[in-house]
Amino acid sequence: MGTVVDTSDESIDTDSGRDGRGWGDGGSGEGGSGEGGGQRGSGDGDSGEAGSLDLYTDDSCNLPREWLATHRVGLLPLSVTLDGRDYPSEQRDDPAGFYAAIRQGARPSTSAIPKGQIEEAFGKSLERGRDILYIGLPAKLSSNFTQVQDIAGQIAAGCTQQVCCMDARVATMGQGLLVKEAVRLRDAGESLEAMRTALENLSDHVRILFMLDDPQFLKVGGRGEEALEWVARFISKLSVKPLLTINRQCAIKFHSAYRSRKRALNQMMEYLRSMIDHAHDQVVYVLHADIPRLAEIMVDAVQETLGIGQQIAVAEVSPVIGAHVGPGTVALVFVSTEARN
């Protein structure tokens, strides 16, 4: 029997509910405010502590800018606009303003990392004789990865260093988990090839289950997802709450749909219970897009499902992903023993 979430649709204000407690740290473990800002090439490092490898990622990873800087991971932010006006990367640490603008009717959009920024960051690393590992937003969801890969190939031509662009095949904090593991492996002195093998295996086991508040927000920038967007619009007319997952090929798939948020949340807990192994050896991430009160309810439900001592971190969905799922979205991210299909 699934965990009963003690809430009703009427008790959750989807217009944010920011009168609830802050979720900077969320439970235990790291959560952060969502994502990093726009420092460039912060993965170059000042010493040999990180070996001969520079790590880079983009701001789909949902890791705070401070965490990335501390762990010498270069952040390459995608372009985000609201009604055609640039939404600066420096403002993305606290996305409250971003979601408030969307709720008031602003139209968000995202585009690839500017070419010059990639050339500058990667070029500096190669000039210092460093190998490069970039862990990026999946090509299935965005054209950004292909652009970074193409530019990296051009820059690396004739160099002896290795440049590896890795498609995360998961998004938001799932991508963040890969970045965290990459930092651990790099600092342990693992080779680039060993790191890639380990990270690809980890990616296979990262689970993401998310619920959209308004399916009409669903916009996928990759290839072949027009049918998914059409189905999302159709479901929106039925006034149900859809649950979606990301499969091994990084295609977004419908899991189920429910007429009430309460039932949808109960199913999310049942999914967590059935898929997670060795729960107390990992952090379960609760993500939300400008709805902290619902995130708080989810934390309580996760503790009821897995035990009061479960490590849980809460983070706000970054604008890069929030532009495509809309405010009110919530998600669970964790690692399972069983690989994704």
Cα separations (Å) of 308 from 266, 301, 314, 335? Answer: 17, 10, 16, 19
Contact 33, 286 (CB under 8 A): no
The pLDDT of residue 75: 97
The pLDDT of residue 225: 56
The pLDDT of residue 249: 86
The pLDDT of residue 231: 62
Low-confidence ranges of the chain (pLDDT < 50): 1-11, 18-49, 221-224, 227
The pLDDT of residue 265: 96
Write out the H or E segment, with its range, that includes residue 164: strand 163-167
Q: Taking the CB of residue 102, how many other CB atoms lie within 10 A of it?
A: 21
Contact 257, 242 (CB under 8 A): yes
Distance from first CA to last CA of the chain, Å, rounded?
A: 25
Q: Give me the helices (H) in the chain, please.
A: 65-70, 96-103, 115-127, 144-156, 172-187, 192-205, 226-237, 261-275, 292-306, 319-325
Contact 324, 80 (CB under 8 A): no
Q: Tell me the Ramachandran region of residue 234: left when phi exceeds 0, alpha when psi lies from -120 to 50, beta otherwise.
A: alpha
The pLDDT of residue 236: 64
The span from the CA of 180 to the CA of 195, in Å, is: 12
